[in-house]
Each structure stands twice: as structure tokens, then as C-alpha cells.
């Protein structure tokens, strides 16, 4: 069965600190996609990144970076020099539908990040 | 370019009633997926529509049904509402269903409260 775990329910950091959000996933498939989404107070889920299971290269986009390690089934997300605008709930998600015609995205429970000025 | 539009924004219904939620996908998208997000939890997949057919379904009872129209817009219907159906209902659109999503575009959701 597929499952996404985000052990950190809530995190508070002071502005300009670095913060890492953890994500551990379970899947029987060898081919899958992993995602991170951001949900600000407005409620709309904002797509941040997609990574397929064959690409373990770390990725950096501005202040955001992602560390994908298949050996530990983890896909962690780091925000460098956090800002108040980063305050939101962040969801890690998994899709196993790569081989089929249809896709279904399974979300983790989310981590609520508060960045304090 | 309009993103995903959902209506209504908020809704209050009485237990046992029926409700219809609506979604217009992002321009150029033809696939619509619906998610239920209870307070403090991650979104749960309800079902996905492509070519006016339900293609995949999550673990939701038959009280949850949907429809997709020729213009790709979609409706989510919930019958015999329960208090536990209170949640944020999110609609996501994408282009096609092959090869996995390149990142769904989500709407802001409909907040349903059942009293």
C-alpha cells in the first residue's frame, strides 16, 4: 500500500533561519512521482516540485531545495533563509499512476510552518 | 489565464440533505480530480474524471458521485450528508492522464459545513 508520512506536525522558526521539512513514503512500485505542495491560508494548493523515481538528483530552486533518497524512501524539503511569506502548510505527496492511464495522488498529513518575524 | 474555479466558496447544509459542488478547470486542461480535505489533514482523493467518465476512485462511499461535462467542467454530488462530510473540497485539473501529473492546478476549494 502507498503511504506518505510527515512526522512534523508543526514547526516554528525565526525569520532567516533554515528549516527542513521531512517526508517519508511507502510504495511497492518502482516507478512513481513525488511532489511537494504549499497551502497558504487562502486554501489553494500551490505546486512546488515533482520528482520521478528514477531521478535522485537533488534540486535547488532559489531558497528551496529538495533531497530525494530512495535508499531511505525520503524526499525532504529545505527552505533557506526563511521568510514570513513561507508560513503555510506544506504537503508531501506520492503518485503511483505512472504506468497506468490514470493517476491518483496520495498526500501526507502536512507540516504547518510558522515563520516568526 | 483563469486557473481552476470552484463554486460556491462556502456552503452550509443540514444533515441528510444533498449538495452539488462545481468546478471549472484551467484553460487547456481536460481532466478533473476531486479531493476532500478535513480540518488539519491532507487532501484525500475522491475520484477523477476524464472524457466525461469516472476513471479512478478513492475509498469513498457511493453517496459521493460526480459528472464531467463536454466543456470539461465537473460537478461533485454528495447525498445524505453526514456531519463527517464537513470539509474543504478541492478540485484539481490537469492535461490528460498519461504519464502522471505534471503538477495539478488546484482551486481554492469549497468549504462545506454540515450541521
| pLDDT at residue number A2 | 82
| pLDDT at residue number A101 | 44
State which residue of chain A sits closest to B98, comparing Cα positions: A101
| pLDDT at residue number A51 | 86
Residues of B within 8 A of A43 (CB-CB) are 88, 90, 108-109, 111
Measured in angstroms, the CA of B110 and the nearest CA of chain A are apart by: 10
Residue A12 has pLDDT above 90, yes or no: yes
**B105 — contact with chain A (CB < 8 Å)?**
yes
pLDDT band at A104 (very low <50, low <70, confident <90, very high): confident
| pLDDT at residue number B100 | 47
| pLDDT at residue number A59 | 82
Nearest to A105 among B45, B98, B107 (CB): B45
| pLDDT at residue number B99 | 37
How far is Cα A113 from Cα A21, in angstroms, rounded to an integer?
9
Measured in angstroms, the CA of B42 and the nearest CA of chain A are apart by: 4
**Cα distances (angstroms) measured from residue B110 to each of A59, B21, B29, B37:** 34, 7, 20, 10
> What average pLDDT does chain B have?
91
User: CA angle, B111 as apex, B109 and B115 as ends, to 5°?
Assistant: 160
On whether the CB atoms of residues A93 and B45 are closer than 8 A, the answer is no
With CB atoms and an 8 Å threshold, state whether A46 touches B106.
yes
Over residues A40-61, the pLDDT tens digits come to 988 888 889 888 888 888 888 8
Least confident of A3-7, A21-25, B47-51, B110-114: B47-51
With CB atoms and an 8 Å threshold, state whether B45 touches A46.
no
How confident is the model over B7-11, as a mean pLDDT?
Answer: 96
State which residue of chain B sits closest to A112, comparing Cα positions: B40
- Interface residues of chain A, partner chain B, Cβ below 8 Å: 4, 33, 35, 37, 42-47, 50, 52, 91, 93, 95, 97-98, 101-110
| pLDDT at residue number A103 | 65
| pLDDT at residue number B102 | 57
On whether the CB atoms of residues B84 and B13 are closer than 8 A, the answer is no
Over residues B33-67, the pLDDT tens digits come to 999 999 989 999 999 998 999 988 889 999 999 99
How far is Cα A116 from Cα A19, in angstroms, rounded to an integer?
12
Amino acid at each position: 500500500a502507498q503511504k506518505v508520512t510527515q512526522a512534523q506536525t508543526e514547526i516554528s522558526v525565526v525569520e532567516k533561519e533554515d528549516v527542513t521539512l521531512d517526508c517519508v513514503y511507502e510504495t511497492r512500485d518502482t516507478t512513481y512521482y513525488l511532489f511537494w505542495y504549499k497551502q497558504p491560508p487562502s486554501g489553494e494548493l500551490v505546486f512546488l516540485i515533482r520528482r520521478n523515481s528514477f531521478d535522485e538528483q537533488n534540486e535547488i530552486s532559489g531558497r528551496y531545495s529538495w533531497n530525494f533518497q530512495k535508499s531511505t524512501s525520503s524526499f525532504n524539503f529545505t527552505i533557506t533563509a526563511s521568510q514570513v511569506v513561507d508560513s503555510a502548510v506544506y504537503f508531501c505527496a506520492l503518485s503511483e499512476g505512472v504506468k497506468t492511464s490514470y493517476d491518483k495522488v496520495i498526500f501526507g498529513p502536512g507540516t504547518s510552518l510558522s515563520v516568526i518575524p | 489565464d483563469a486557473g481552476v474555479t470552484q463554486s460556491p466558496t462556502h456552503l452550509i447544509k443540514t444533515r441528510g440533505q444533498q449538495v452539488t459542488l462545481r468546478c471549472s478547470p484551467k484553460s487547456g486542461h481536460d481532466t478533473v480530480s476531486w479531493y476532500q480535505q478535513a480540518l488539519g489533514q491532507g487532501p484525500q482523493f475522491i475520484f477523477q474524471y476524464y472524457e466525461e467518465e469516472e476513471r479512478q476512485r478513492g475509498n469513498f462511499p457511493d453517496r459521493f458521485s460526480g459528472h464531467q461535462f463536454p466543456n470539461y467542467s465537473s460537478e461533485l454530488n454528495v447525498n445524505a450528508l453526514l456531519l463527517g462530510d464537513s470539509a474543504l473540497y478541492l478540485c484539481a485539473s490537469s492535461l490528460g492522464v498519461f504519464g502522471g501529473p505534471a503538477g495539478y492546478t488546484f482551486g481554492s476549494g469549497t468549504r462545506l459545513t454540515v450541521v
